[in-house]
Amino acid sequence: MRETLYDLIGANKRKTFLFIIVTSLFLGAIGYVVVQYLHWGIVGYVFFAVFIVIYNIVLYYNSDKLALRATGSVPADPVEFRMLHNVVEEISIAAGTPKPKVYITPSPAPNAFATGRNPENASIAVTTGLLEILNRQELQGVVAHEMAHIKNYDILLMTVVSAIGGLIILLRDFFLRSMLFGGRRRSRKTGGQLGLILLVIGIVLAIIAPLFVALIRAAISRQREYLADASGAYITRYPEGLAQALAKLRDQYVPLKRASQSNAHLFIASPFGKDRANAAGLFSTHPPLDKRIGRLTDLVI
């Protein structure tokens, strides 16, 4: 048990590193092509190298803020959300980690996610809809599931991957647009060639973007959700709490408006309607809730 968990944490850190390397190479390739065709020379290369380094540093330190902002989460008021703060503190004592920051996502959709780069800099966000339907013990179960993601370093990988996914979609839009509008202003001599290059990059990105989403699904495999359920149950030593919470999530479905393809895998239950209850597609981010509940009920601690 212990050994495999540590292996998993190591694997998560390696995967995060790999993702950052691959993106850097990818950005480097784009930079090379652009510099080459605009004839910026050595200054251009230096500019791109510095940009990539700064981009990675900013990404590492701010990926959690991106996820929180994208979902419109705000810090939970310690007086108004006293019980939530208490529950998070209880679970962090049980897990032996520092208390993460607590956020509220204003949405009637019952859901929750965790983000951050390590247990010392982690945040847990729950929606107002979740607080409305869960009792104290069910909330403990959900928070323990998120705490398991934090302890296993799932959060770093998840947030870095979703930030990179967002960037690729952004770049694709940029290149496809500059291809459409940029052509007119360019001089005739280089215009045709440059336009062609931008078009090729745009098309390649358009193909890569959905593939990248699929890659996210592979990296953050559905197995990880089972694992977080099990280790969450180990933290509270009370699997029924989480099982009951998941049953409520299954029965009271409201779509989460501010979730997107690039951050769907962060949440405790899929924020989209399809494949929630029983059918798991090849591209679904989460295992079906029925199966997760079944596994929790069979769990012996």
Partner 1 sequence: MIIILILVILLVIAFIAIYNRLVVKRMRVKNGWAQIDVQLKRRYDLIPNLVETVKGYAKHEKEVFEKVAELRSRAMGAQSPKEAAEANNMLTSTLKTLFAVAENYPQLKANENFLKLQEELTATENKISFARQFYNDVVMDYNATIQKFPQTVVASMFNFKPREFFEAPEEERTTVPKVKF
* Positions marked active-site: 146
Can you tell me the distance from the alpha carbon of 180 to that of 157, in angstroms, rounded to the nearest whole number? Answer: 35
Distance of CA 253 to the CA centre of its chain: 21
> Which residue, 226 or 238, is less far from partner 1 as judged by CB?
238
Q: Can you give the three-state secondary structure of 221-270, one letter per residue?
A: CHHHHHHHHHHHHHHHCCHHHHHHHHHHHHHCCCCCCCCCCCCHHHECCC
CB of 89: closest distance to partner 1 in angstroms?
7
**Least separation in angstroms between CB 237 and partner 1:** 5
Q: Which residues pair with 103 in a beta bridge?
A: 75, 125
Sheet holding 101-105, edge to edge: 74-75, 101-105, 122-127, 112-116
CB 102 to partner 1: min, Å: 14
The Cα 267–Cα 71 span in angstroms is 11
Nearest distance from residue 236's CB to partner 1, in Å? 8
> Which of 90/173 has CB closer to partner 1?
90
Residue 286 burial (10 A CB sphere; 0-12, 13-18, 19+): buried
Least distance CB 13 / partner 1 (angstroms): 22
Q: What is the largest CA-CA distance in the chain?
A: 72
Site residues, partner 1 (CB under 8 A):
82-83, 86-87, 89-91, 93-96, 136-137, 140, 236-238, 240, 301
Backbone angles phi, psi at 71, to 5 degrees: -95, 0
- Which residue type occupies 182? G
Of 138 and 225, nearer to partner 1 (C-beta) is 138
| Cβ proximity to partner 1, 235 vs 289, nearer residue | 235
CA 203 to each of CA 35, 198, 207: distance values in angstroms, whole numbers, following the listed order: 19, 9, 6
CB of 98 to partner 1, least distance (A): 12
* Amino acid letter, residue 98: P
Distance CA 109, CA 183 (A): 44
Decide whether 43 or 301 has the Cβ nearer to partner 1.
301
Closest CB to partner 1 among residues 9, 94: 94
